[in-house]
Amino acid sequence: MTTRTLPVARASRLPASALAAAVVAVGLCAAGAAAQAPRPARDATPEVVTGPAVPVFVDGQAQVVGGFADPSTWIRHDLWVETDFDSDGDGRLDRVHVDVSRPGQTDREGLEVPVIYESSPYYSGVGSTESEYFWNVRHEVGAVPPRRGDMPPIEQQSRRPIISNAHVATWVPRGFAVVHSQSPGTGLSQGCPTVGGINESLAPKAVVDWLNGRARGFTEPVGGEEVTAYWSTGKVGMTGTSYNGTLPLAAATTGVEGLEAIIPIAPNTSYYHYYRSNGLVRSPGGYLGEDVDVLYDFINSGDPERRAYCNATYRDGEMAAGRDRVTGDYNDFWQGRDYLNAIDGVRAATLMAHGFNDWNVMPEHSWRISRALRERGVPVQIYYHQGGHGGPPPLERMNRWFTRYLYGIDNGVENDPRAWIVREGDREPTPYPDYPHPEAEGVKLRPRAGGNGVGLLTVDDGSVENVVEALTDDVGRTGAALASATASSNRLLYATPELVKDVHLSGVASVTLRVAANAPAANLSVWLVALPWTEGGAITDNLVTRGWADPQNTSPRESTPLVPGEFRELTFDLQPDDQVIPAGQRIGLMIFSSDPEFTLWPAPGTELAVDLAGTSITLPIVGGAAALGRPVS
């Protein structure tokens, strides 16, 4: 191990005795060792470093320091940071409510520390999840939906001085300050909620600016004494899960100076991709009938006196005009709520985390952003696990990330593998050189006749089968019921022969379909499954990935009604995945119409025809077609 002096910002403010002791132990980061996986995350209580209360680092990670670890010594207070927007129309710049938790040494000894920051619209209560306040999905595709019920207003919760205790016990003992803020129009923050509007990006930007001395803070929401962040180095890292994971990316798109690193966990990176899918109106898993205006009501916990203005301006104005639950098309409203369109502003080193079985905020959200950042040369790594919504990277990985980019410790994290994948049955991630696995190749497979039973799915050899097969929509049949059925008129199912060896899928599967319908509009759902179906097991035992699309959409922004008997060809991606299909199973492609967990619920009876000659699926197989072990034909 090597030692060197800690590079603390403006370290001359520290007493001489502390400067003498500000020594860190850093693990060797030789080029030959950089590609190796780090040690497993420490699940046990971390060892507490004794001695002078200065940040200490071992193997490139910030350690718990005894002098920082006693909560009774922490300084905790709140304030309001002034933004540069007036979203609630009262003629004053909105102020957002902020709390601070920091080591006592920041006052007693002049220590300056970097900041871990989380922002959220959820800190002051949320609305109802009763279905009567969501959109009714029982209507035909393309029809004007019935009006939803009015959600009861949220009773405002005034919580101060501490907004949240999230992250405090983890990071303050390691020599960081922790900051939380309430999103505009929620809790004690002024302004209006906009669910992806520009003020949700500019509000955390203002907090980062305040931490760097570029914005003003006050002791009260109106007037008050000015508060400065004299204890901050100006280096900020943001993190959070779900909506709280979206806001770090939102802030980063502004390019704000000082936001050095973000760790978004299951972030919603596009509200269109959250509430629509390839032109189709589609709900997030577990929230059937939710839409952007429902989420607005769900978070609208701000000043009751401003809600009438906010409701009229945003929910009943901008959102009502832009959401379009009739066609489901992409438009300017959704474009303004898609962070990929502002990705050029991101400079913060990004560690993205997501679950492959997250059917609420689906795994494409992290993949689409991490890919774009990599193309732009921004430091980025991705952590995927096999679970559902949420799930942070191991603490060790987060610690290395924040230590490198907030404290400037040269721990070599930027040379670590780009992808960390928790494989089935594992607890610790497996490092990949990248995601998808670099050895994955697209292998095209085509269906053969017999899909109302189980037709064959074979590697494309250039031949096509000039057969049209049909299915009848019935929203009363779940995807699991259809996939497990020996035969069904409500779906088409095609499967490979039994695999002779394990097959590793890594990346994004893409499906091309040539379809027609006897109605002007219809749902279209596609599942990739592993067969035989495990009766009584969890759906994740057999569901590999899935996707949805609107056959009316010739492009994201354009749709035209279907003409009976007229075929449309469409190509779209399924959700990203990484898993191993074991030998003895079969890989199955299932095509059906309405998916009762996600789509609208039209009356049963719409018929879809699928032209097998124009239908295929391309699977990302590690090792390519040869990995199948024999021709799948």
- CA–CA gap between residue 279 and residue 547 (Å, rounded): 12
- Tally of CA atoms within 13 A in the half-sphere of 202 that contains its CB: 18
* 113-120 and 177-182 beta bridge pairing: parallel
Helix (H, G, I), strand (E, B) or coil at 540: helix
3-state secondary structure 505-565: EEECCEEEEEEEECCCCCCEEEEEEEECCCCCCCHHHCEEEEEEECCCEEECCEECCCCCC
| Among 358, 550, 578, 611, the one annotated catalytic | 358
| Among 389, 506, 550, 577, the one annotated catalytic | 389
- CA–CA gap between residue 577 and residue 600 (Å, rounded): 25
Between the CA of residue 418 and those of 248, 314, 370, 433, what are the distances in Å? 20, 40, 10, 6
In one-letter notation, the amino acid at residue 159 is R
Q: Are 493 and 451 in contact (CB under 8 A)?
A: yes
Copy the structure tokens of residue 586.
């079969």
Cis before 52 (ω within 30) = no
Helix (H, G, I), strand (E, B) or coil at 289: coil
Please, which contacts does 558-563 make with residues 24 or more away whose CB atoms are closer than 8 Å? 558/329, 559/279, 559/327, 559/328, 559/329, 561/142, 561/520, 561/521, 562/516, 562/517, 562/519, 562/520, 562/521, 562/522, 563/520
Q: Is 489 a catalytic residue?
A: no
The CA angle 596-287-355, to the nearest 5 degrees, is: 95
H-helix or E-strand spanning residue 506:
strand 503-507
Q: Nearest Cα to 523, choosing from 470, 598, 590?
A: 598
Q: Is 59 a catalytic residue?
A: no
Q: Are 473 and 602 in contact (CB under 8 A)?
A: yes
DSSP state of 428: S
- Tally of CA atoms within 13 A in the half-sphere of 546 that contains its CB: 30
* 61-62 and 95-102 beta bridge pairing: unpaired
| Among 119, 183, 189, 242, the one annotated catalytic | 242
Q: Measured in Å, how far apart are the chain's first and last C-alpha atoms?
A: 57
Q: Nearest Cα to 514, choosing from 581, 437, 596, 611?
A: 611
Only one residue has tokens 């590793």, namely 504
- CA–CA gap between residue 565 and residue 588 (Å, rounded): 27
Q: Is 358 a catalytic residue?
A: yes
Residue count of the chain: 633
In one-letter notation, the amino acid at residue 552 is Q
* 232-241 and 113-120 beta bridge pairing: parallel
Query: Quick count: other Cβ atoms within 10 Å of Cβ 455?
Result: 21
Q: Which residues are catalytic?
A: 242, 358, 389
